[in-house]
Each structure stands twice: as structure tokens, then as C-alpha cells.
Structure 1
Amino acid sequence: MSRIKWAFRSMLALVIALTVAVPSSAWAATGNVISIEIAGGSKQKMNVGETKSFQVMAKVEGFDHEQDVTGGVTWSTSNAAVVTMSKGKVKAVAAGEATIVAEVEGVKAQVVIQVQDKIKSIKASPSSYTLVKGNENTLPKVTITRANGKEEDVTSDIVWTVSKDMAVLEGGKIKGVTPGRVLLQGKYGSTTVRVPVAVTDIITKVEVTPSTIQLNLKKSKAIKVIGTYANGKTVNLSKSIVWTSSNPSVASVKNSSVKALTEGKTTLTGTYQNQNLTVEVTVVPKLQKLIMGQKNLTLSPQSTTTIGVMAKYDTGKTTMVTTSAVWSSSKPGVATVTNGKIVAVAKGKTVITAKWDNKKVTIPVTVK
């Protein structure tokens, strides 16, 4: 009877060995299975919808090294509502916890599967990098949002790779090696986040145009930034600069465009490769027109009178600009004007003009 049992066990072991994916690791037809172990540990995590295969290694009599017996394993699950088994693959079907059991020749091993809600989105911060050749930066922080709305910081669980050798990963940092573009990829289980990385040469000079800006309310103006490399070549950096406004209520800046919001002054600051950039912005109301105190004048020779000029803006604001305006008379022999003071000289007609900013206003004067 013992001989029959021994022969049956040996035949079973041989059949299982022949089903192993890698024949060189198959366990022998002779000897008993002492113990088995599921690779990856006794507790593992999966996400809803994820499918995973587990490797099973066995200690077998007569062998110094563990043997791969995955192909000969009989699997079972403690909770098919959480995880199911099919052809050696585990599928996570619902959030919860289940134990899967692997069995070979009556020897068992188990692993607890913690199934979490499906990942709805994954986000890296920062979402992109610009690295100077030879410089490095800390790898991004990564968060996931599950289907139930819960957010998790999974930074420490991300496995990072780079698509090209223009950048390398060293000690939790990414380092620029060669100018060009590379993709930093982070994998969390079966979910991947991608972060574009631009590696650039050293910029020796940065020029900002214009360095001072005057804008009317609600108007916008683009800022142009040109960088120069050591070899003399130039590059447009306008969209690479992140600007900050010292007074964001006066003017905001987005994608290199400044927009005037309220009257006042602000300073825009930015950096590129440790070079500080500034732009001074002044927001002023738009001058609509100049208004004189009278529409026409009639004077007698040698008489005098003074008229005022008011500036009216698009905000409804008005300001007296009499002494700031530039005055002139079309016929000084008839009447002269200084800072709004008109002196009648001789009989005739003339036109008095006041100019201020980009506007002007006139008044006809008759001397009789």
C-alpha cells in the first residue's frame, strides 16, 4: 500500500512539474513538498477591477533551492464577492478583504487581499519639470482619488521610470543629463501618471520686453522673454516664466499676458535659472475727452478771461488739467493764451486749443 501511495505522489509531482512556465525551475518527481510560499508577502493590496497573478514557490525534498510550482497550484478564495479566482488569476471585484489559499499536495499557503475602491484619477505635483542640464529636483508628490471620492497620498508607493536617458533618477530625485524632452512615469499598481520633463542648456542672459508697462483698465499686454545660451543662440522663454504680481488686485498675469484690473501700480516678478526678472506695471483709467468750461467766448480788446479744462475718464472720474495742458492760439494777433488765461489783443477771430495727453479741445474766440 505504501508503495502505491509513493508511486501516486511521484506521478502527481511529475504532472505538476510539467505545467510550470519555466521548466528549469520545475520541482522533481521524487520527494515531498515540505512548504509553499506565495510571493509578495502575506498581505497585499489590489484595486477594484484589477487582475493579478501570484507566483508560488515550494521547498521540496531533495532540492537545495525553492522550486516554482505555480502551474500546479489549486486555488481557493474565502470571499468570492471580493475576489474571484480563475486559471490562477485573482480578480478584485469589490472593496473589502478576502483570503486566497494556494494548495499543493495538501500543503497550503495563504495571502490576505485588501481590495480598495477603483482609482478614478491620479495626479502628480508638480505636473511638469524644466531642468537645467546637470541640475536635479525632487520627484513629484502623487495623490490618487478613488471612486468614492477619497483622496490618498501614494507618493511613497510610486515606482518611477524615465522614457529616455536625457534624465536619470538618483536618490529620490530626477537629474537633467542632456538637453531635450523626456517623460517621467510613475506607476501605482496598474495606474500610471506621466510628467513631462524638459532638460535645457544653461541660459547666460535673459531679456524682458517691455520692462515697464502702462495699461488702461481691462486692457492686456504680452510680456516677451528671450534667453541667450552660452553659444549665442536664443530661445523664447515667454511661456516658461511663472510671474507673480505684488498687487494682484491691480493687475494679474497668466501665460505671459498682463491684464489690468484696477487703477494703481504693481510689480511682476519671475525667475529663470536663478535669474530674477521684474516688470513694473501701472494701470491708469482711459482718457475719453477734454471738456472746456465754455463753448465760445466774445471779448473786447485788452480784456482778459480764464477758462478751465477738465479731463474725463472711462471710469467716470474727472480731473482738472488746466495748468498741465498745452495751450495755443491760431491767431496770437487776435488773442493769446497762457495756462487757460486768454488776453484779447485786437479785433478778429481766433481758435484757442488745449492739448493734454492724447486729446485736445478747442474754443472759438471773437474779439470785437
Structure 2
Amino acid sequence: MKRKSRFMLILVSLVLGLFMFGGAALADSTCDPYNTYDPYNTYDPYDTYDPYDDSDNYGDYDEGPYIEELVVNTEDVQIAVGGKPATVKITAVCSDGTQMDVTKKCEYTSDDEDVAKAAKGKITAVGEGECTINAYYYDETYGESEVDIPVYVVAGNELEELEVKPESVSLSVGGKPVALKVTGIYTDGSKKDVTKLCDFESDDDYVAYVEGGKVYPEDEGSCEITITCDDVGTTVEVNVTRQIKLLTIVDAETEKPLKSVTLEVDDYKEIYVIAKYADGDTGYVTEQVAWTSKKPEVAEYCDDDGAVVAYDKGSTTLTATLGGKKVNLTVKVK
């Protein structure tokens, strides 16, 4: 009887031992994702997945390619007011080695639009000064980035003076118009034909008017043409006479025609110019004609004196011009 009781006790102990051993093994297998028994592996209820933890069993996290920087093809931009816009090129350099021209895809903003503005890679000067242009770019694959571009704006080459040819205009009623040529002189000394850029205005359209840079005669008289370009101006005197058939130079005392005259040094001779018109009438036009001298150092016509004035020994030819007609006077100085 004692042997039987001892045997039953041993059997129960074995069953309990097997049950406890199997339960421990089962518990260990639920804690081990690889289902291997590790006597040192204990279950941690606070162990959670961390995508940035390199030691985690699920591996490393890959954030994908991105824009490392936007590169501008120049360190800064220098432009002049009124000059051509500056063009920049912006390249997006990405982490995977990709490079993209994003110049026209960027959004541009200026911290001072009174100095410069920008759009699609073109920077335009507005006024003198300094400012910064910000270029911003966004891409669905590579993300966003931005870059600043320093801009320096200086004063442009400004128009300083207008030069007009001819300096004065003589026309005949019913005659052909005279074209004006206007040359702009700039602060850097350069010159440019600005005729087509000018505004012309006559102070008496009944005498002469301007159209397309040409002065047209209307009626006998005088007027002044004002020419302006970029707030710079000048004037041209216009004289309109009746159509002249012939000009004659005469002695002021005798009114006899003169072809030549001989004078002493520092001497003078008063003369008149008479015009014969197409309708047969005549009239004095001395103050209306334009005078030239081949050798002004020898002699020339002086408007203030109404006379030919001799300066030095020699010979020269004076020419009076009006209404497309000319008359010459030979002057000898002894």
C-alpha cells in the first residue's frame, strides 16, 4: 500500500512538471517573433515600433530624394534704370544627383519693388538702389527650396541734350517740306538719332506745322518749333516766305545789283537782298536769308550791322540762301 501511494505521488509530480515546462516554452514563443526559445528573452509590454530606431527589427526608414539647393548662375545682378532686363538661370540640385532647370517655374518676390521686379528669370530695374529677389520652387517629388539674389540698380545712360539739323528752317509758301534730324547726346558722350522718339510742336500752325519730323509751310511768316524727348528740349526757328523766283544782292545806297565788292581791312559795306516772287512782286528779304562765307576769317555778313565786314586780306565768297534760291557775292579785301 505504501509503494502504491509513493508511485502515485511520483506520477503526479511528473505530470505537474511537464505542464509547467510546456507553459513556460509557450510563453517564450509568443515573445520571440522568430519563434525560437531564448531563456533570456523576456516579454516587454512597452516595446513599440520606432521607424527611426536603427536597432529595430523592421529595418531602416528611407525618406526619399530631396532638393539640396537652388543654384543661381550669378552671385548678384547689376542693372541700369532704363536698360535691358537681366536674365538669370536657376538650377535645382537634388540628393539623388538629378539637376533641373527651374528658372521659369520659380515664384519670384522682391523686398523692394521700387528698385527691381522679377518674373520667369528676368529681373527688371525700376529705380536706383539695392534689393533682394527671392526665388521659391516646389516639386511634388523633391519638395521645396528657395534662394536669394542680391540686385544692384544704378542710374542709366540719360539723355542730356538735343542737337537739331538744320538749326533753322527757311520755307516757301507752296514749297516742299524740310526734314529735321534730331540727335540725342547722352551723359556718357554717346550720340543717337532720336528723331522718331521726339515730340514736335509749332507755336503757329498757320505759318508752319510738323508731321513725322518734317516741317510743312502754310503761310508767310515766322514761327518756332519746340522739340522734346525724355524731358529734354530745344527749339528751331522757321521762316516761311512766298515762292521766290530770284534773289539779288544790291548796294544799300544805290540799290544797284552787286556781283562783287572790294574793301579795306576793317571796312564794311551795307547791302540788301531783294527777292523776286513767282507772281512778279518783289520785296526786301535781307533779314530772312541765311548767310555763309567760304572764308569767314577774311570777310562775312554781319546781321547786327546789316553789312559785309572785312577782317583780313584775301578773297572769299558770301552766299545768301532763302526759299531754295541762292545768290553769291565775291568779296576782296586789300
Return the TM-score normalized by structure 1.
Answer: 0.42
Please state which structure has a larger fraction of its residues in strand: 1
Greater relative CO, 1 or 2 (CA 8 Å, sep 6+): 2
Higher Cα Rg, which structure: 2
Return the TM-score normalized by structure 2.
Answer: 0.46
